[in-house]
Amino acid sequence: MEHRPAHRRAPRVTVVCPTYNRSEAITRTIDSVRAQTVEDWELLVVSDGSDDDTDEWVERAGREDPRVRLVRHARTGHPSGPRNAGLAEARGAYTAYLDHDDTWHPDHLRLVLELLAGGADMAATGCEYRDASGGVAAELPPLSCCWHPQLQLMGPMFEPTRVAHRSGLAESVGGWRTGAGLEDWDLWLRLADAGHTFATALEPTAVLLTDGGTRRHRMARPHRMPLIHLADARAAHALLGELRAGRHDETFRAACREDMREWYADMVRDGGFVRPVDWHGDLGDEIDRVVGGTGRLFEELVLVPARGRFALARNLLCARAEHARRATASLPGIQPRQLRLLAGLAELAVRQPV
């Protein structure tokens, strides 16, 4: 690992950017940091064994702006290794992350630092999802900027480019871990388990590339969440076909709406629910809007053998089997109506003649 001597005065925030063979395109990401309205930062671009001219482009930026620093790292093939290397080099009181194919709007650091100054340990902002041509690829609903430990357990939240935290937090729970699954979901959950909380804003200060070629879309889904088990393959296939036919979508949407309203109300009552500081909409109305889509509901289900039986399950992008077990164990308390509907359909499938 190579690095320059540290500057005398530590910056307020360290930005960690892992990269591999990004070439000249890395300059767009670097330039978005250099354009920040907050100027008291250092940018550590950690090259994960790049064997093209990426390092030269980073060094060129560093000659123009000494706040930009190249850190060379032996090839790992996973962003956790470079991120941990960046944490080891970081000098800021706060740490922010930026993936090499994403960019920030000029006020990103200002906003996350304001959120952290309010007492939170971690901060996340809204974002724009763009495809490779720069077009809008997806909308970020306000519910995606709400936070609670249960939400953190049940689904992936806050890509690294959207997140900053007090320095030292990641290391306190073991740092970034490698392996299959979403390493950011894994780290944020470990931090939540340790009692650390997020503050969030809906304002879209980050621009994230979402494209079929990105790692997030290509990675394997190593774990599953079983929804129901059946004793024989015929009934399991019949149930899956019935669900995918779409005849029950509206019934399940109604059940999902009620389950979500009850779950969110419970999270609000327990005092740990976090809304975006800049969003004051009605949770119930937003749940209705999110649930009231038109797409098929069960296309992502898979049928898997499970200890002599067959399970209808959802693939999960979590990194650890224990995480999948915890989420599965929590499901009956979160989606009781939907699981009852599923059990009823399963009973009908079992009774169907061969």
Q: Is the pLDDT of residue 162 over 70?
A: yes
* Average confidence score pLDDT of the chain: 93
Maximum alpha-carbon separation in the chain: 78
The per-residue pLDDT for range 309-345, each reduced to its tens digit, is 999 999 999 999 999 999 999 999 999 999 999 999 9
Q: What is the pLDDT of residue 217?
A: 59
Q: Is 272 exposed, middle or buried (0-12, 13-18, 19+ CB in 10 A)?
A: middle
pLDDT of residue 136: 82
Domain extent listing, the chain = 13-215, 218-351
* Tens-digit pLDDT profile for residues 87-129: 999 999 999 999 999 999 999 999 999 999 999 999 999 999 9
Q: Which two tokens stand for residue 272?
A: 């740990």
pLDDT, tens digit, 9 for 90 and up, residues 67-80: 999 999 999 999 99
301-311 pLDDT, tens digit each: 999 998 889 99
Mean pLDDT calculated for residue range 224-239: 93
Please state, for a pLDDT cut of 70, what percent of the chain lies above it.
Answer: 95
Confidence check: pLDDT of 4 > 70: no
Mean pLDDT of the region 294-298? 79
Give pLDDT tens digits for 174-185: 999 998 899 999
Q: Express as a percent the part of the chain with pLDDT over 90.
A: 84
201-228 in b/e form (b: 16+ CB < 10 A) is bbbbbbbbbbbeeeeeeeeeebbbbbbb
Whether 20 contacts 54, CB under 8 Å: yes
- What pLDDT is recorded for position 213? 62
Question: At 5, is the pLDDT very low, low, confident or very high (cuts 50, 70, 90)?
Answer: very low
Instruction: Pick 277 or 135 by higher pLDDT.
Output: 277
> Residue 13: what pLDDT?
98
Look up the pTM and report it: 0.92
The CATH classification number of 13-215 equals: 3.90.550.10
Residue 135 banded pLDDT, cuts 50, 70, 90:
confident
pLDDT band per the 50, 70, 90 thresholds, residue 214: low
Backbone torsions φ then ψ of 229, nearest 5 degrees: -115, 140
Q: How many CB atoms lie within 10 A of CB 155?
A: 13
